[in-house]
Amino acid sequence: MLKLHDASIGSVVKVEELASTGYLRERMLALGLTKGARVEVIRRGPSGDPTVFNIRGAMIALRNEEASLVTIQ
């Protein structure tokens, strides 16, 4: 299973599942990371972390540790 942090720059992926819990899960859902959501990978930070994603028209930066909790297809 691919994780969001594995997606290459410029790719558009679809959210399959969230493995986060509690406050982090609520935050990710509020950002639009729901099942079936389309996410575009925009760019990575200078050290490869964080990565900027376009989620439902909003530019959101997620750390690799957060992006690894999102399963994609």
Q: Which CATH class is domain 2-72?
A: mainly beta
The DSSP 8-state label assigned to residue 4 in this structure reads G
pLDDT of residue 17: 95
Phi, psi of 64 (to 5 degrees): -60, -35
Q: Which residue has the tokens 């399963």?
A: 71
Q: What is the mean pLDDT of each run of 10 residues along the chain (73 residues)?
A: 93 95 93 94 92 94 94 94
User: pTM for this structure?
Assistant: 0.90
For residues 58 and 6, give the distance between their C-alpha atoms in angstroms, rounded to a whole number.
Answer: 20
Closest among 37, 56, 53, 55 to 45, alpha carbons compared: 53
